[in-house]
Structure 1
Amino acid sequence: MTRKIIRSDKWPLQATAQQRHLMRLTLAEYRAFCRALSIVVLSNWPALCRAPSFAAAVERLIHPTMKNPKPRHHYFTRRFYKFPSYLRRAAIEFVKGQVSSYLTRYGAWLDGDRKCSDARPPAFNPVSGCYPAMYRGQQIKFNEDFTVASLKLWDGREWLWHDVQIKRVRQRHLLGAVKSPALVVNRRCYLSVPVELKPEQLPSTERACAVDIGINTLATASIVSSGGTVVARRFLHPAADIDRRNKRCTLIRGKARKTAKLSKGFCRGMYRKTRHINEQIAQITSRRLVGFALEHGAEVIVLEHLKGWRPKAGTRRSSLRQRFHGWLHRRLADLIEAKFTEAGGRVEYVYAKGTSSWAFDGSGKLKRDPKQYELATFTTGKRYNCDLNASYNIAARYWAWKLKLTRRKDGQLSEDRSSSGKPRIPVTLSTLWQREHEAPYQCAA
């Protein structure tokens, strides 16, 4: 069954100085309408919530019609001349969400849900994140190849159509249906274009791409079949970008050591640059991981469940603590899930504890090298990469759960009914080999 997915693309506009001025006027007019409308909605909130249609009830208060010639609030008719009906309904839905959010937060504050005892009540900002929705056919029109957008803009007297060149678009709009975008005007003007996709589910190939996200190596991936055969392996570590990030982190740490008390906004520019480099690393690595999984026919990507986990290693202001702060385990997992789901695949999470401390061949616990922490020694004397070993065990935990060798994803085998004293050895890659007549040894060092 195909599932609908909505993804938003950013299409920058090549607007002239006059067109940018008109876009700012349009944004100011729309926000003024939302600000005035929020007062009406906030003062009539209980009655509006009881109405069968929220939008229709609000329009009866502000918009004159043949059946409603004298609405209660005449301000909107006098102040907002020929305001488009589609923008009015979009503003109603936006203000409804803003007021609902504010009342929920204010109610929680009254109930004592506060960070500190003297915390101030939440502020109501009706225009936070407020940008006009450009409904297709009514507020915006595209040409056939999506190079020109005709926008209905406010010039201070009338709502008129203006043709604006689109700088560039991605290829996503060719794969799905383009919905009504939003006009975003900040330092630059662009369209936030939602695209509805219906990706076809990937065929079942009995292959999983297991990814271990680490500190020494950013991501280690391996393709493992349901029988325990390792088909492919790859290390992903953009060293040049990581060095650029670490260089700025070192400069920040050096300045912090010379300062007794860090002021608000300390090294703001360096932190901003570091975040941008981290975002670039996550985007590049996630794209390569998804491409690696699709290249080898994997139907699922398996990750460790690390949401909410906080590292405790490293002292305050140490290099190790700073490396953990720049760790991309959550951002990388979110991007992998978003991109692979768009390609028709699935992302599963398994229990993380023990994947790196147990040998994949079932020989027991391993011992890490104190000088080269990414290397490990098995009890048999075998030397192996610890991150690669962890990726094998991650895949094994998924397949053990999928094949019902265990009823849980916590990495433990189910106990036998005949014996309750079965040792609690976690699932490793060797667990899958026991299901086969001949154990595959494609993953030897």
Structure 2
Amino acid sequence: MKTPNKIIRTDKWRLNPTPVQKELLGKTVEVYRHACQFLVGIIYTHWSELGELTADQLTPAVEKLMHQTAKRPSIKYPQFKKAFYKFPSYLRRAAIAFSAGQVSSFVTRYREWQSGGRKRKDAKPPKLNADTGCYPSLYKGQCYKLHGYDQVEIKVFNGYDWVWATVEITGLRERHLVATNKMMSPSLVLNERSCHLSVPFTCKPEKRKPEANVTAIDLGINTTATISVVTHSGTVIHREFIHPGRDIDRRDKRLKSVSVRASKTMGKGGKLHKGFCSKTYQKCRRINTQIGHIVSKRIVEIAEKFNSVRVAWPTALAIVFENLLGWKPKGGRKRSNLRQRFHGWLKAKIRDFTEMKWAELGGKIVEVVAAYSSKLAYDGSGKVKRSSKNYALATFSSGKQFNAVRVAWPTANLNGAYNIGARGVIKLTHRNGGEGRFSKNSGRPPRSWVCLCDLWAKVSPRLA
């Protein structure tokens, strides 16, 4: 049996240091960065010999150049010990690994520039930047000691010596509570906004059973995400709509202010300066990230909750999305409100965040053909007719207006979610992984245009 791939996820453990402790932590980060700058110069000077070594061989090779011991009294760079008195050995090795990565990256990019591999022919040569905003990696027992999950002892530099400081932990997530997760060496992150430990975990999710429900997602403009949970027999056991309207309004309000300020700045002609409203755009990007996390978190919660079999780990097999890679909007005039809404469509961000969260629980993402997922009625009656006043509402060929009374429920998105779920089920159960129809004489080519009614035909041909 093939073992599942390792997945690494990082938690943020917020720290609450006193003013004195914060100053000590700041000195620790500062001296670590200075050590990395020193080591970058050494490693780059000897890169012709060091570049051919493996990661395990490179660290002792660099230490032979700058770390003096009783068996190695003569070294080439004794200045390191004088500049960094009593520098912890584990921090030194972490700094060597980071500095070697910086030099390796620079050498690769410089050779690429020399060979003309850059996209732009007039691209300037890359520079070796030794002044990087890196943070020290802490090794258990040598650089940090946990006291439960309320306090942590960190080895810090007080300007003269390395001492231990006990710092309070005020916030952490739940990955450390999962028995199969393995905690790795954290990094001490200290900046103007926060002070925390960046704690990576190696996650080993258990394999899910193949016979289970699928959670289908239809990403739209009027409704951010329409969710339907479809069984292999074609039964829809849950449906839900996710639309964080408050966050979307906050983002759109800020974007609208950009056009107002631009018109006041340019007037009827002229150009905007570089970086115009950059802070506003940064804020909007953060709001988009927050929306993506809110929606993806709820999608994963639904996928965990609605399952055909209950075991220690949830058994929902897959989350199904439409394959929208390379999709570009056709509707909406230039600078129109509809075109702006298309630009605010977080189809890729929601899909990527969902994949990261779902992979941690042992699930997988399935992508199906997007063509005619909303245009074809899920009951097999043919194409649906969209309302000219409200494009989210749809009427079937039989004349049935599926839930058209409740405008808050966009029927076109719900119809699309049903068909997406059916395509996901068929893709998972079909022998060659395709989305072929069950009947050769379906009369609705191509074979990828699967609807929910095709699952009914598989269970009972009379229902089709």
Q: What is the TM-score when the length of structure 2 is the normalising length?
A: 0.87
Alpha carbons 1:211, 1:220 under 8 Å: kept: yes
Alpha carbons 2:426, 2:436 under 8 Å: kept: no
Which residue of the other structure, out of 263, 285, 294, is the alignment partner of 2:295?
285
- Looking at structure 2, the residues matched to 193 and 348 of structure 1 have their Cα atoms a distance apart, in angstroms, of 30
Secondary structure of 1:435's aligned partner: helix
How many Å apart are 1:173 and its aligned residue? 1.4
Aligned to 1:180: 185
Aligned to 2:163: 160
- Looking at structure 1, the residues matched to 262 and 343 of structure 2 have their Cα atoms a distance apart, in angstroms, of 15
Alignment of 1:126-137 (within 5 A): 126-137=130-141
- Looking at structure 1, the residues matched to 133 and 331 of structure 2 have their Cα atoms a distance apart, in angstroms, of 38
Number of residue equivalences: 435
- Looking at structure 2, the residues matched to 343 and 31 of structure 1 have their Cα atoms a distance apart, in angstroms, of 37
Q: Deviations over 1:354-383 (max 9, x none)?
A: 322222222333332222111223333333
Alignment of 1:3-402 (within 5 A): 3-51=5-53, 53-144=57-148, 146-175=149-178, 176-187=181-192, 188-258=194-264, 259=266, 260-297=270-307, 298-384=316-402, 385-402=411-428
How many Å apart are 1:206 and its aligned residue? 2.4
Alpha carbons 1:253, 1:317 under 8 Å: kept: no
Deviating more after overlay: 62-71 vs 228-237: 62-71
Change (3 A) 1:316 1:18: farther
Alpha carbons 2:226, 2:417 under 8 Å: kept: yes
Alpha carbons 1:229, 1:440 under 8 Å: kept: no
- Looking at structure 2, the residues matched to 266 and 49 of structure 1 have their Cα atoms a distance apart, in angstroms, of 43
Deviating more after overlay: 8-17 vs 422-431: 422-431
- Looking at structure 2, the residues matched to 34 and 91 of structure 1 have their Cα atoms a distance apart, in angstroms, of 5
Counterpart amino acid of residue 213 in structure 1: L
Change (3 A) 1:424 1:204: closer
CA-based RMSD: 2.4
Aligned to 1:430: 453
Alpha carbons 2:33, 2:133 under 8 Å: kept: no
Alpha carbons 1:202, 1:299 under 8 Å: kept: yes
Secondary structure of 1:184's aligned partner: strand
Identity of aligned residues (%): 44
Q: What is the TM-score when the length of structure 1 is the normalising length?
A: 0.90
Secondary structure of 1:434's aligned partner: helix
Change (3 A) 1:400 1:122: same
Q: Deviations over 1:191-248 (max 9, x none)?
A: 1011233333344552100001111100000011112111111111122222222222
Secondary structure of 2:458's aligned partner: coil
How many Å apart are 1:438 and its aligned residue? 5.5
Structure 1 runs not aligned, ≥5 long: none
